[in-house]
């Protein structure tokens, strides 16, 4: 399936939580399906850290299918014959929306001059997009991982904008362990001699080695020990015996190196710094006086939270924490923990039970 790709340039500066504003911000997005005459059938899908707007269409850089093509399309759980689906690249990213690689007013890339952003800033950009599309109230907002953070932020800060809120494998705030993993990745990028303080856009060499290591470290957190063991075990890669050297002896080493090198072809290192920082700053309770229930006071939206039993990055306890706060706020909320062996990445992979939950909740 292919979506309609467009870029919106905001006419007004985008105010940011850090106190500055982003002038002439651009939001790159794709749409699928047809918007109803009464504009009541729109679903906003929010992407994860390294995702983009190509939720159900071929990625222009990698040539791979959309990251949620199994979920979005005609007759699929998010049915584009019924719903008008919008998916936008968040600000700070590198697939067409304003980010560190974008040109500043002096004609040079922002690089590290780009303002530090938050999840709520990303959602401000999404709300501006909805305004431009004339969509006052969404049938649903849907997101997994960082996309779930955006969905929760929309529900808390713009409570009138969504009738349904579907949050998958996510959290209301980043834990110390998650911040630690992100800092490991950022330091890997910044330790790469080609990073050059972020000013590498005109250089022949990019900080690919550092970004690849960051991706490798992060990718381990997306999987479960069960999945790694089942897929690779201690199997050797293309050899009968150990090399007694530092090539990729084990299949799991080769796999991680492949993940790292492939990632550098489609993602910008500075964007990785900015988006991980935004995730680390995310704390919905802190935004609302320290009590998470207050973030959802008076909400009329219906919520559904989904977790996976093998996800140790955003474990079920994180979803339950949000569910308890929604209960305290008197919100209509359903919750399910699904069994899947894939770890955090389960929301992107073949889990038929998730398909049924998504389809049922949206209908």
Rounded CA Rg of the chain:
20
Q: Which of 57, 93, 97, 145 is catalytic?
A: 145
The Cα 106–Cα 34 span in angstroms is 39
**Are 270 and 176 within 8 A, CB to CB?**
no
- Indicate the angle between helix axes 208-222 and 269-281, nearest 10 degrees: 40
The helix/strand/coil state of 359 is helix
Q: How many helices (H) and strands (E) does the chain have?
A: 11, 12
The Cα 112–Cα 99 span in angstroms is 10
Active site (annotated) includes residue 321: no
Active site (annotated) includes residue 344: yes
The Cα 117–Cα 25 span in angstroms is 13
Residues 6 or more apart whose CB falls under 8 angstroms from that of 245 comprise none
Active site (annotated) includes residue 311: yes
Q: Which of 249, 344, 345, 346 is catalytic?
A: 344
Q: What is the DSSP string of 134-202?
A: T-SSBSEEEEETHHHHHHHHHHHHSTTSBSEEEEES--SB--HHHHHHHHHHHHHHHHSTTSGGG--TT
Q: Which of 52, 192, 280, 311 is catalytic?
A: 311
Q: State the catalytic residues.
A: 145, 311, 344
């Amino acid at each position: 399936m292919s979506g309609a790709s467009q870029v919106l340039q905001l006419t007004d500066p985008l105010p940011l939580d850090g106190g500055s504003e982003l002038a002439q911000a651009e939001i790159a997005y794709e749409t699928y399906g047809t918007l109803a005459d009464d504009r009541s059938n729109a679903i906003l899908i929010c992407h994860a850290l390294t995702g983009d707007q190509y939720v159900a269409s071929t990625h222009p850089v990698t040539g791979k299918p959309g990251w949620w093509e199994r979920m979005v399309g005609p007759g699929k759980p998010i049915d584009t014959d019924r719903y008008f689906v919008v998916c936008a690249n968040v600000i700070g990213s590198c697939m067409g929306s304003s980010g560190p690689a974008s040109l500043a007013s002096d004609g040079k890339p922002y690089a590290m001059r780009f303002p530090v952003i938050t999840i709520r800033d990303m959602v401000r950009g999404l709300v501006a997009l909805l305004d431009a599309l004339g969509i006052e109230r969404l049938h649903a907002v849907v997101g997994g991982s960082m996309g779930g953070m955006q969905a929760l932020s929309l529900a808390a800060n713009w409570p009138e904008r969504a009738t349904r809120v579907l949050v998958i494998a996510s959290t209301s705030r980043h834990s110390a362990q998650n911040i630690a993993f992100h800092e490991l990745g950022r330091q890997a990028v910044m330790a790469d001699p080609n990073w050059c303080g972020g000013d590498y856009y005109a250089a022949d060499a990019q900080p690919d080695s550092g970004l690849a290591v960051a991706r490798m470290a992060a990718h381990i957190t997306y999987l479960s020990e069960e999945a790694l063991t089942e897929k690779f075990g201690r199997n050797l890669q293309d050899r009968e015996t150990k090399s007694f050297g530092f090539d990729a002896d084990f299949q799991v080493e080769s796999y991680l190196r492949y993940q790292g090198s492939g990632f550098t072809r489609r993602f910008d290192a500075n964007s990785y710094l900015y988006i991980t920082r935004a995730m680390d700053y995310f704390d919905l309770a802190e935004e609302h006086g320290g009590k998470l229930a207050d973030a959802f006071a008076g909400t009329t939206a219906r919520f559904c939270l989904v977790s996976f039993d093998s996800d140790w990055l955003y474990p079920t306890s994180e979803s339950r924490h949000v569910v308890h706060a929604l209960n305290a706020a008197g919100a209509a909320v359903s919750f399910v923990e699904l069994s899947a062996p894939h770890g955090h990445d389960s929301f992107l992979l073949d889990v038929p039970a998730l398909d049924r939950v998504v389809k049922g909740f949206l209908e």
